[in-house]
Amino acid sequence: MRLKDRIAIVTGAGVGLGKAIALRYAAEGAKVVIAEINADAGCAAAREIHDAGGDAFFAPTDVAEEKEVRAMVEAALHRYGRIDILVNNAAILMFGKDARAHELSAEVWERTLLVNLRGHWLCSKYAIPQMLKQKRGCIINFASPTGLKGFENLTAYSVSKGGVTALTRAMAADYSRYGICVNAIVPGCMETPMNALMLSNDTMRQKRISTTPYGRLGKAEDVAGLAAFLASDDADYCVGGFYAVDGGTMAI
Ligand SMILES: NC(=O)c1ccc[n+]([C@@H]2O[C@H](COP(=O)([O-])OP(=O)(O)OC[C@H]3O[C@@H](n4cnc5c(N)ncnc54)[C@H](O)[C@@H]3O)[C@@H](O)[C@H]2O)c1
């Protein structure tokens, strides 16, 4: 058990990649805070961990709301007394509403940046003071290929992920010397609820598969091993890195 008795906050852990990470962390011995905006999904994920013999609780959280993030971190500390791992996973992609720059509404731009970028920052802002006290901590952000190269019709999401890339580097520069390792995972095209609408279009699905050298789309479980490694002692000297789990998409 690589994460025995570590305390992990995983945002957006109700479904998709966050849920797969939360389940893996619990299986590796961590106690997990499910910080999630969707109460049904958050409760169900916590219940699944309990049913498997693990320890977790659901903390209702909109990561874009400062008061809710503060309350979630306080609840984690009240229950477990420390924070070893923060996985900034929660994000939205407003497929069909996100668009080219001149067609994008201010509402879509603002909500996307609030959740995806401000959310990563706010959760870090409130978890870091405890990690500084502990002189140890691990933060994993969720970046994206869209923040690294151009994709069509995804201006707001791409900009938010470009921001996460910069935030990861800035936090790695600021906190590594205090024992807090900050890294980012860069998934490729994964079969999660985020992509359900896009992948229900067969042409788009085939296009995504054909640009993935491995020959299939990613599954939520594909990120869990890397997330467990990055949170473990084996990753001690991994700092400010961007780790792809994309079946080779970014290699071509
Ligand atoms: N799926 C992909 O192909 C892909 C590719 C690259 C990067 N990513 C990134 O990986 C991460 C996980 O993606 P996913 O595919 O699992 O997403 P998903 O949409 O399937 O799940 C996201 C989870 O976050 C929760 N959430 C949404 N807004 C929230 C908020 N304001 N506060 C708290 N929780 C909130 C949702 O309820 C849901 O449980 C995201 O950061 C995403 O941008 C995903």
Q: State the average pLDDT over residues 96-114.
A: 98
Look at residues 28, 213, 244 and name the one whose alpha carbon lies nearest to residue 144.
244
What's the pLDDT band for 46 if we cut at 50, 70, 90?
A: very high
Q: Tell me what pLDDT residue 101 has.
A: 98
Instruction: Round to whole Å and give the CA distance between 86 and 194.
Output: 21
Ligand 1 lined by 159 (C-beta under 6 Å): no
Ligand 1 lined by 41 (C-beta under 6 Å): yes
Q: Which fold has domain 7-251?
A: Rossmann fold (3.40.50)
Q: Which atom of ligand 1 is nearest to the CA of 115?
A: 31
Quote the tokens at residue 171.
């936090």
Q: Tell me what pLDDT residue 156 has.
A: 98
**Among the options 126, 157, 175, 243, which is catalytic?**
157
Q: Which atom of ligand 1 is nearest to the CA of 15?
A: 39
User: What are 62-83's pLDDT values in tens digits?
Assistant: 999 999 999 999 999 999 999 9
DSSP-derived letter for residue 205 is H
Ligand 1 lined by 87 (C-beta under 6 Å): no
Q: Tell me what pLDDT residue 249 has.
A: 95
User: What are 187-198's pLDDT values in tens digits?
Assistant: 999 999 999 999
157 belongs to the catalytic site: yes
Please give, one letter per residue, the 3-state secondary structure of 16-67.
HHHHHHHHHHHHCCCEEEEEECCHHHHHHHHHHHHHCCCEEEEEECCCCCHH
What's the pLDDT band for 172 if we cut at 50, 70, 90?
A: very high
Ligand 1 lined by 64 (C-beta under 6 Å): yes
DSSP-derived letter for residue 194 is G
For a pocket test of ligand 1, which of 10, 11, 17, 63 has the largest count of ligand atoms closer than 8 A to its C-beta?
Answer: 17
The CA distances from residue 92 to 60, 95, 110, in Å, are 17, 9, 12
Quote the tokens at residue 119.
């959310």
Q: State the average pLDDT over residues 29-42.
A: 98
Q: State the average pLDDT over residues 151-179.
A: 98
Q: Using CA positions, which residue lies closest to atom 36 of ligand 1? A: 12
| Share of residues in the chain with pLDDT > 70 (%) | 100
Q: Tell me what pLDDT residue 10 has.
A: 99
Question: 10 Å Cβ neighbour count for 250?
Answer: 14
Pair 139, 86: CB distance under 8 Å = yes
DSSP-derived letter for residue 68 is H
Q: Which atom of ligand 1 is nearest to the CA of 41?
A: 39
Q: CB-based contacts of 102: which residues, under 8 Å, 6+ apart? A: none
Backbone angles phi, psi at 46, to 5 degrees: -65, -40
3-state secondary structure of 110: helix
DSSP-derived letter for residue 214 is T
Q: CB-based contacts of 214: which residues, under 8 Å, 6+ apart? A: 247, 248
User: What are 125-146's pLDDT values in tens digits?
Assistant: 999 999 999 999 999 999 999 9
Q: Using CA positions, which residue lies closest to atom 19 of ligand 1? A: 194
Q: Tell me what pLDDT residue 54 has.
A: 98
